[in-house]
Amino acid sequence: MGTLFRKRDSKFWQMGVCTRGRQLCRSTHTTNKQLARRLLARWETEIFERRFHLPQSTPPYFEDWADDFLAKVAHPNTRKRYKSSVGKLKSKFTGLRLSEVSADGIEEYKEERIAEQVEPATINHDLRVLRRMLRLAERKQLIIRNPFAQVDFLKQRNPRQPHIVSFEEEEKILSVALPHIRLLVVLILETGMRSHKEALPLRWDAIDFTNDSIRICESKTRAGIRNIPLSARCKTELTRWRKLVGPEISPFVFPNLRKPNEPMKDIRHAWAKTLRDAGLDFFVVYQLRHSCASRLSAAGVSDLFVAQMIGHATPSILHKYSRAIDEYKRDAIRKLEDLRTNHGHPEPPTTASNFVKDARWGDVQAPE
């Protein structure tokens, strides 16, 4: 049981509670004894709930928990995306305590958003944020259980298939691209780097021209931190570009020409113009990364090593397999180069006396 008492030099009532063999004291900051008793009872309840791992009887309000949740999201881009969803969720659940957020309330939120003609994918984004918030609340014993166990996500449209760049489309793009766009296209197609997370912020000191490799130190995921072997073609393009915009101009491979100490951040307009000039329909530059993965698979590289090459891994893959060693990665790059070399039609025989021995043509004897 707790006790109330007054100190000689204070007009406020003090609270004392004994827990786990220790005496804890705290001021009520009030001179009203009835209010002090209620505060003492609340404090005793909080201690009792923590001691026996019970959910709090007075969990925080949804809006307060949402603000605290956002503040603890580390990545700025993730926080920006969550903030959009949290704003919509607040409009529905503000004024409710976490324990009052029910499955019925979540279903009502879904119906209201559907009535506003919001895309199912957007609504599902909001629901995933809410699910994560409530999972954390359940883990911290702020609620008894997560009401999401009774909620289903909306059915989304089938996602659009990625645009896989053909070798012919690549040639068209490179023939009209500005120098920095040309390098970016070759870099992503040859390495599978993420365009905005890895390629554009790439620094010259991360490229080892001696050992033909690129070190990715910062990425979207842990699997993205990796060494990427350089193909001969990619190294040639980087060497040519270094003569124009080398480390003496900027530490970044793709510098912001107005602020050389900062990397280039936006290439949307230049990329769109490049595709128009090439006579191709628009697709995002990120699709070049998918194209690299497809080419590696076509070259006979296993799915595991393709995933490791482009810095993508699921928890199940990482749990069952170890990371691909550099020699296997380098072999994957060699296979990609062989695929490019073998692309296209072989030249016909140039003299009447030659035998053309080719795996695709067979043994063809020219007419006499």
CATH of the domain at 314: 1.10.443.10
Mean pLDDT of the chain: 82
- Let me know whether 76 and 208 are in one domain: no
Q: pLDDT (tens digit, 9 = 90+) per residue, 294-333?
A: 888 878 888 888 888 888 765 343 333 334 445 556 777 8
For the chain, give the number of residues.
Answer: 368
- Let me know whether 77 and 127 are in one domain: yes
pLDDT at 47: 65
Does residue 20 or residue 356 have the better pLDDT? 20
Domain count within the chain = 3
Task: With a cut of 60, say whether residue 134 has pLDDT above it.
Answer: yes
Enclosing domain of residue 289: 167-341
Does residue 25 or residue 106 have the better pLDDT? 106
Q: Are 205 and 251 in contact (CB under 8 A)?
A: yes
Q: What does the H/E/C string look like for the chain?
A: CCEEEECCCCCCEEEEEEECCEEEEEECCCCCHHHHHHHHHHHHHHHHHHHCCCCCCCCCEHHHHHHHHHHCCCCHHHHHHHHHHHHHHHHHHCCCEHHHCCHHHHHHHHHHHHHCCCCHHHHHHHHHHHHHHHHHHHHCCCCCCCHHHHCCCCCCCCCCCCCCCCHHHHHHHHHHCCHHHHHHHHHHHHHCCCHHHHHCCCEHHHEECCCCEEEECCCCCHHHCEEEECCHHHHHHHHHHHHHCCCCCCCECCECCCCCCCECCCCHHHHHHHHHHHCCCCCCCCHHHHHHHHHHHHCCCCHHHHHHHCCCCCHHHHHHCCCCCHHHHHHHHHHHHHHHHCCCCCCCCCCCCCEEEECCCEEEECCC
- Let me know whether 109 and 180 are in one domain: no
- Let me know whether 32 and 99 are in one domain: no
Between 10-14, 139-143, 170-174, 357-361, the lowest mean confidence (pLDDT) is in 357-361
pLDDT at 354: 38
Answer whether residue 155 is part of any domain. no
- Let me know whether 35 and 178 are in one domain: no
Task: With a cut of 50, say whether residue 336 has pLDDT above it.
Answer: yes
Answer whether residue 76 is part of any domain. yes
Answer whether residue 348 is part of any domain. no
- Let me know whether 104 and 216 are in one domain: no
Mean pLDDT (whole number) for 88-107: 92
pLDDT at 348: 47
- Let me know whether 69 and 122 are in one domain: yes
8, amino acid identity: R
Give the pLDDT band of residue 164 (cuts 50, 70, 90).
confident
Q: pLDDT (tens digit, 9 = 90+) per residue, 16-54?
A: 877 666 777 888 888 888 888 888 888 777 766 555 444
How far apart are the C-alpha atoms of 176 and 169, rounded to whole Å?
11
pLDDT at 314: 56
Q: Taking the model in full, what pTM does it have?
A: 0.59
Answer whether residue 25 is part of any domain. yes
- Let me know whether 122 and 251 are in one domain: no
The pair of three-digit structure tokens given for residue 365, joined into one six-digit string: 């004897």
Answer whether residue 368 is part of any domain. no
- Let me know whether 183 and 331 are in one domain: yes
pLDDT at 118: 92
Give the pLDDT band of residue 128 (cuts 50, 70, 90).
very high
CATH number where 144 lies: 1.10.150.130
Task: With a cut of 50, say whether residue 183 has pLDDT above it.
Answer: yes
pLDDT at 223: 79
The pair of three-digit structure tokens given for residue 165, joined into one six-digit string: 């760049």
